[in-house]
């Protein structure tokens, strides 16, 4: 009969490798560093191989350790999936769904979407993290993310839910003061809120059924964040380019809308918008529910058909 392996020791070894430090792993697990080190040493004794090379400066995996880590992490994920499957059976969906999204998309769009979701599923808690950095979903424990732009190579599962095209928006107060432009060319005579403009000027390349047309615009303010563009437009400072899904949000709450879309046939073409999840393995019911709800909501607001699932192959999970 072979040696019995303590699964706690296996899980702790995986955490040490992921954290690249006994100290960080011990802090995360609530253990003493010495206890964690002894547990990994005991695992190595039970297996009869050295898994880690320890120095005062860093840890590194041996060849055996690299192979064992890959298989052990996969096996532990499978156990977690099995537990989630059993837990979900016959129960009303409940628990936490961790989501990350760019700041501007999250602030402009997510409030309404999440409000509708939690009213329908009151036992599911949405933990939303807004950040401009690309989050490692697996290492940081996120269930899904919304991303704009090109996806790096990975094993992420992605659903395209539209594109981050920008349209022209203005507040009623501005239009009352300056009038409504009837053509793209007329934008050059208006005050504009510039996204990353230079010295108060920018070139907007707008396209539509008419083809593509460029116009030189000017304005009293330049900002580097779409949320700030929205706030400046709402304040009546000028005409600004904002995500087209905002038009869907405005139509949805027309009585509360503080801005209106102008020249609806014109848009600045943007990058693709995706909802991504870490892998194709089993997802808890609460995650699948929110994923599908979010995909449908974003596709509807973007004026896109229902999104299809696409596997994006990557060298490592993000």
Q: What is the pLDDT of residue 316?
A: 35
Comparing 249 with 134, the larger pLDDT belongs to 134
pLDDT above 70 for 106: yes
The overall average pLDDT reported for the chain is: 84
CATH numbers and ranges of domains, the chain = 7-88 (1.10.10.10), 95-164+271-311 (3.40.190.10), 166-262 (3.40.190.290)
Question: What pLDDT is stored for residue 86 in this prediction?
Answer: 63
Instruction: Decide if pLDDT at 258 tops 60.
Output: yes
Question: Residue 291: which residues within 8 A CB-CB, separation 6 or more?
Answer: 143, 144, 159, 275, 277, 283
Q: How far is CA 65 from CA 8, 60, 109, 119, in A?
A: 17, 9, 45, 47
Q: What pLDDT score was predicted for residue 251?
A: 46
The highest-confidence range among 242-256, 258-272, 274-288, 293-307, by mean pLDDT, is 258-272
Q: What is the pLDDT of residues 284-318, one digit of tens each?
A: 889 999 999 999 988 887 665 544 444 333 333 34
Q: What percent of the chain has pLDDT over 70?
A: 84
180 close to 186: Cβ distance less than 8 angstroms: no
Which pLDDT value is given to residue 81?
A: 66
Judged on CB neighbours under 10 Å (0-12, 13-18, 19+), 265 is exposed
Give the pLDDT of residue 204: 96
Tell me the average pLDDT across 38-50: 92
Lowest mean pLDDT among 140-149, 173-182, 197-206: 140-149
């Amino acid at each position: 009969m072979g040696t019995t392996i303590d699964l706690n020791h296996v899980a702790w070894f995986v955490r040490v490798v992921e954290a690249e430090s006994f100290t960080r792993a011990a802090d995360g697990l609530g253990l003493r560093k010495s206890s964690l080190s002894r547990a990994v040493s005991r695992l190595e004794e039970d297996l009869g191989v050295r898994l880690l090379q320890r120095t005062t400066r860093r840890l590194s995996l041996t060849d055996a350790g690299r192979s064992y880590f890959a298989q052990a992490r996969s096996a532990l994920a499978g156990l977690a999936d099995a537990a989630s499957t059993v837990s979900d059976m016959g129960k009303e969906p409940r628990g936490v769904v961790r989501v990350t999204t760019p700041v501007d998309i999250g602030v402009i769009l997510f409030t309404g979407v999440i409000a509708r979701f939690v009213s329908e599923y009151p036992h599911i808690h949405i933990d939303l993290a807004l950040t401009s950095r690309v989050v490692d979903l697996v290492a940081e424990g996120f269930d899904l993310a919304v991303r704009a732009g090109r996806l790096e190579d990975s094993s992420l599962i992605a659903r395209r839910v539209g594109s981050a095209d920008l349209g022209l928006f203005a507040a009623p107060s501005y239009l009352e003061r300056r009038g409504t432009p009837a053509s793209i060319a007329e934008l050059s005579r208006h005050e504009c809120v510039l996204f990353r403009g230079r010295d108060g000027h920018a070139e907007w390349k707008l396209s539509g059924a008419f083809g593509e047309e460029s116009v030189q615009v000017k304005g009293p303010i330049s900002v580097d964040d779409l949320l700030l563009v929205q706030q400046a437009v709402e304040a009546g400072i000028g005409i600004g380019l904002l995500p087209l899904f905002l038009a869907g949000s405005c139509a949805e709450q027309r009585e509360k809308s503080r801005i209106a879309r102008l020249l609806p046939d014109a848009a600045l073409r943007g990058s693709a918008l995706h909802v991504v999840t870490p892998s194709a393995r089993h997802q808890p019911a609460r995650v699948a529910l929110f994923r599908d709800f979010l995909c449908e909501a974003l596709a509807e607001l973007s004026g896109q058909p229902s999104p299809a699932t696409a596997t994006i192959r990557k060298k490592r999970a993000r």
